[in-house]
Amino acid sequence: MTTVQRLTHGWEGAVERRLGDDVDVNLFLLGFVRAHSLDRAHWYGVVEGDEVRGVVLLVPDRLVVPWCPDPDDAAAIGRVLRDRFDPAMLVGPRAASDALWDAWTAGEVEPDRFYDQRLYVLAERPPGPPAPGFRKARLSEWREIAHASGLMEHEDLGRNPHREYPALHERVVRERVRTGRTWVIERDGRLVFQINIGTALAEGAQIGGTWVPHARRGQGLATEGVRALCQHLLDHHPRVTLHVNEANTPAVRVYENVGFRRTEPFRLVTV
What percent of the chain has a predicted confidence (pLDDT) above 90? 94
**In 3D, which of 150, 166, 169 has the Cα closest to residue 158?**
150
Q: What is the pTM of this model?
A: 0.94
Write out pLDDT tens, residues 5-39: 999 999 999 999 999 999 999 999 999 999 988 98
Mean pLDDT of all residues in 38-51: 93
Domain boundaries, the chain: 2-110, 134-264
What crossing angle do the helices spanning 142-157 and 166-178 adopt, rounded to 10°?
120
Q: With left for phi above 0 and alpha for psi between -120 and 50, is residue 130 left, alpha or beta?
A: beta
Topology classification of domain 134-264: Aminopeptidase (3.40.630)
Whole-number Å distance between alpha carbons of 186 and 209: 17
pLDDT band at 158 (very low <50, low <70, confident <90, very high): confident
Write out pLDDT tens, residues 169-184: 999 999 999 999 999 9
Q: Tell me what pLDDT residue 37 has.
A: 86
Q: Using the predicted structure, report yes or no on whether residue 207 has a pLDDT greater than 90.
A: yes
Q: Do 2-110 and 134-264 agree at the fold level?
A: yes
Write out pLDDT tens, residues 106-139: 999 999 999 999 999 999 999 999 999 999 999 9
Q: Is the CATH number 1.10.3470 carried by domain 2-110?
A: no
